[in-house]
Structure 1
Amino acid sequence: MTKVRMLRPQRKAAALDTPTDLAPDAVVEISRALNTLLADTFALYLKTKNFHWHMSGPHFRDYHLLLDKHSEQIFAMTDDMAERVRKIGGMTIRSIGHIAKLQRVDDNDAEFVPPLDMLRELLADNKAFTANMRAAHKICDDNGDVATVSMIEVWIDETERRTWFLFEASRGADRTGH
């Protein structure tokens, strides 16, 4: 009896060596920092959308629209982050599982979260995200990656604005019954 052997297509290693003047160690370090930020960005995006979808209460419309705008801004960062990793010759995240391994933003799978708690949780997440971006900024600056430094500075400014809006939207709400 002759055995039939199934041939599988052979995979070749992808030639993804993007030329850069950054040192190989710098590419690894910067890519690691950006991939972790990218995982955080996806996690923060999904949490913001989750709260947007599940918002309720007397300020529904305002909070719903605020979180929609925030989620759009957060999502817009993802492609720039991933492409920056590729531009310097690094490899970026490839799956939801990879995001889950790297993310520092905690998920919230609760069936119901009161609106004020949503805002305060996102406020804390955005503040932590800013601190994590500052750490990545230092890594990029220490390795002479001025382009990534510049991008991170814009993302920090956007995140500080989201933090400010979340703070102001939730400030004093306990006293006014909202």
Structure 2
Amino acid sequence: MAKSDKKSAVKALPAKGLPIDIGISAAHREAIAKGLNTLLADTFTLYLTTHNFHWNVTGPMFNTLHNMFMEQYTELWNAVDPIAERIRALGYPAIGSFADFGKATSLPDAPVEPPKAKEMIRILVAGHEAVARTARSLYPLVDEASDEPTADLLTQRLDIHEKTAWMLRSMLEE
């Protein structure tokens, strides 16, 4: 299944209960929630890859990367809850299974065999840049809906992913 087909497999179903009247149309809330579920899947996938690399890094940069990857996976772990809670505030369920994350993410899974340290860095740079693109792609819709809380969340995520990609990329310079 192609990535574009996989994303459409994750449906944004409204939560049951009282109607939501927060000044954002139901159509906008649904589209934003679907986009945020992709961001959630990307963030969780990058978290798993980063944690995997933390466990499996070797070589002369071991201590530096082991500690850096721990800081990064901790930050990513702490990011999934606010994303999921924003989805819930919009009235939709947050995805949470490996199957749903696999269908919704734009990132590849971590390699089966742990790569060398520099390849880990390259993979994480690409991952952070991909998550930044996912977050940025939601801005037109969020802006159209005047959804300031989601815009704020996206701005925070973009800042972190762009800075992390820059710092990791700097480690690859000779």
The residue that corresponds to 2:128 in the other structure is: 126
Q: Is the 8 A contact 1:19 1:88 kept in 2?
A: no
User: How many Å separate the matches in 1 of 2:140 and 2:16?
Assistant: 31
Separation (CA, whole Å) in 1 of partners of 2:68 and 2:85: 27
- Distance, in Å, in 2 between the alignment partners of 1:35 and 1:97 is 13
**Alpha carbons 2:53, 2:114 under 8 Å: kept:** no
State percent identity of aligned pairs. 30
Size of the aligned set, in residue pairs, is 160
Q: Would you say 1:29 and 2:31 are equivalent positions?
A: yes
State the 1:103 CA deviation.
Answer: 0.8
d(CA) in 1 for partners of 2:135 and 2:38?
10
What is the CA distance between 1:142 and its match in structure 2? 1.8
Q: Distance in 1 between matches of 2:138 and 2:118?
A: 30
**How far is the alpha carbon of 1:122 from its aligned partner?**
0.6
Q: Which residue of 2 aligns with 1:64?
A: 66
Q: How does 1:79-94 map to 2 (within 5 A)?
A: 79-94=81-96
Distance verdict in 2 for CA 1:16–1:109, change over 3 Å: farther
Contact 1:18 1:86 in 2 (8 A): no
- The whole-number CA distance in structure 2 between the counterparts of 1:52 and 1:81 is 24
* Alpha-carbon distance, 1:19 to partner: 4.2
Deviation at 1:32, TM superposition (A): 0.5
SS at match of 2:112: coil
Partner residue of 1:5? none
Which protein shows a greater Rg?
Answer: 1
Decide whether the 8 Å contact of 1:20 with 1:89 is kept in 2: no
AA aligned to 2:73 is S
The gaps in structure 1 that reach 5 residues or longer are 1-12, 173-178
Deviation for aligned residue 1:73: 0.9
**Please, which of 114, 117, 134 is the counterpart of residue 115 of structure 1?**
117
What's the TM-score once normalised by structure 1's chain length?
0.85
Can you give the 5+ residue segments of structure 2 that lack an aligned partner in the other structure? 1-14
Instruction: Give the letter for the 1:63 counterpart.
Output: L
